[in-house]
Amino acid sequence: MSENAEDTVVTTPAKSEGATLTKDAAPGETLLKVTGLQKHFPIKKGLLQRQVGAVHAVDGLDFEVRSGETLGVVGESGCGKSTMGRLITRLLEPTGGTVEFEGRDITHLGVAGMRPMRRDVQMIFQDPYSSLNPRHTIGTIVGAPFRLQGVTPEGGIKKEVQRLLSVVGLNPEHYNRYPHEFSGGQRQRIGIARALALKPKLVVADEPVSALDVSIQAQVVNLLDDLQQELGLTYVIIAHDLSVVRHVSDRIAVMYLGKIVELADRESLYRAPMHPYTKALMSAVPIPDPRRKNAKSERILLKGDVPSPISPPSGCRFHTRCWKATEVCRTTEPKLVELRPGQQVACHHPENFEDQAPQDTVLLTAAKEAAELVADEVLAESAETSAAVAAEVAESDSGAESGSAAEGEAGQESTDK
């Protein structure tokens, strides 16, 4: 089957009948707020199925998604990205924390309570081959949200489904075809059409292009971008491909072993990443520049594998693979704090910024071993940048103190007069 991307006509889906739960969030206002979100999957053994442990898939996430923006989520396989997506769409029950949508707590809403919310929160699943029922036609699949919500769009369900198919670049005449008759890219478009049927406010896309060819990836990414501009959608896009995330995201959250280690706007993150793990990820992005083919690679290789989420390391979870880890990293978990406007990081020894634990200088044995895999130029640049930023911060602090002292003296003189 050939893709019909060039014939794509983007139009606005018809509004669903029925009242919305709350007032629509204006662009820039907080649409989704997640606080301390946790999901632990129990491990049970024995005849009585007693719990002997738990997989800490998501372990304390805090972030917000503003209306009209795209939040990208990146990280290695097994870091909890997909679980986080299923938690905020309430396809999984959280172990702890809260999820607020438009100011309303939906953390523990039951099936009846979540049914109206499904109009506003939808998900595009990772695998376009398994997320579509092979026994149903495309018309039945895309029209299911209308039947489940009891919504009858103007002109009937069939007409609306055919229009949605044209919106995502498919031929409306394919209404009666089955999923196996479509290519991977076309199946993903069908999943997008189903997610957009009820005109949701928030769409969680779980690696929407990872199973597709590069050329089809570009078509699907551009389609999502066009639909966001046309319909004012808010996206949470989970992906492995850092180039795709950079293209579509306004802000990016970097996850490692169930936690967010850095959250920043796109330009700040790619220009000056602060967390060592983020820097290692960025070094793995290939640069398509023929002039650099003979240049020495500054790729940062990480030591070992990601630790098991069943028994995550104490303190900072990245300290077993980090080349800057010290004793404070092993004993104290860093909090996600804003070091620069719009850039939050959870690290005691951040890159491109002043050291947050300068008194702790003795590297752990694991850090020395990890440093052997990092180029000397990278280590030298990191040390120089941190020292320069520290000097700049110290100079600005001393300037602020002298300014405050001068103001105090001037105020004292005016009082004496």
Dump pLDDT digits (tens) for 158-206: 999 999 999 888 999 999 999 999 988 899 899 999 998 998 999 999 9
Report angle CA 306, 54, 71 to the nearest 5 degrees. Answer: 55
Task: Judge if 131 and 222 occupy the same domain.
Answer: yes
Residue 140, domain member (yes or no): yes
C-alpha distances (whole Å) from 360 to each of 96, 303, 316, 324, 351 are 33, 22, 14, 11, 16
Task: Judge if 91 and 238 occupy the same domain.
Answer: yes
* pTM of the full structure: 0.83
Q: 223: part of which helix (H) or strand (E)? A: helix 214-231
Q: Using an 8 Å Cβ cutoff, are 311 and 342 in contact?
A: no
pLDDT tens-digit readout, 301-358: 888 888 999 999 999 999 999 999 999 999 999 999 999 999 999 999 999 888 888 8
Q: Could you give the angle at which helices 184-196 and 214-231 cross, rounded to 10 degrees?
A: 20
Task: Judge if 69 and 155 occupy the same domain.
Answer: yes
C-alpha distances (whole Å) from 266 to each of 162, 210, 242, 248 are 36, 20, 11, 9
Three-class SS of residue 123?
Answer: strand
Based on the structure, what is the number of domains in the chain? 2
CATH value at residue 186 = 3.40.50.300
Q: What is the pLDDT of residue 400?
A: 54
Task: Judge if 304 and 235 occupy the same domain.
Answer: no
For residue 200, the enclosing domain spans: 25-46+55-249
Residue 417, domain member (yes or no): no
Residue 145, domain member (yes or no): yes
Q: 36: part of which helix (H) or strand (E)? A: strand 30-45
* Separation between Cα atoms, residue 196 and residue 142, nearest integer Å: 9
Task: Judge if 60 and 197 occupy the same domain.
Answer: yes
Task: Judge if 233 and 334 occupy the same domain.
Answer: no
Return left, alpha or beta for 109; rule: phi > 0 is left, psi -120 to 50 is alpha, else beta.
Answer: beta
| Among the ranges given (39-53, 224-238, 357-371, 392-406), the one the predictor scored with the smallest mean pLDDT | 392-406
Residue 327, domain member (yes or no): yes
Task: Judge if 245 and 279 occupy the same domain.
Answer: no
Residue 1, domain member (yes or no): no
Task: Judge if 120 and 224 occupy the same domain.
Answer: yes
- For residue 294, give every residue at least 6 positions away whose Cβ sits within 8 Å of its Cβ, in sequence order, or none: none
Place of tokens 């997610």: 195
- For residue 224, give every residue at least 6 positions away whose Cβ sits within 8 Å of its Cβ, in sequence order, or none: 192, 205, 208, 235, 237, 248
Residue 133, domain member (yes or no): yes
Q: Is residue 34 predicted with pLDDT exceeding 80?
A: yes
Task: Judge if 303 and 237 occupy the same domain.
Answer: no
Task: Judge if 241 and 324 occupy the same domain.
Answer: no
* Separation between Cα atoms, residue 402 and residue 362, nearest integer Å: 34
Find the mean pLDDT for residues 240-269.
92
Task: Judge if 102 and 243 occupy the same domain.
Answer: yes
Task: Judge if 307 and 365 occupy the same domain.
Answer: yes
Q: Label residue 354 exposed, middle or buried (CB < 10 Å: 0-12, 13-18, 19+).
A: middle
Residue 88, domain member (yes or no): yes
Residue 268, domain member (yes or no): no
* Separation between Cα atoms, residue 30 and residue 235, nearest integer Å: 13
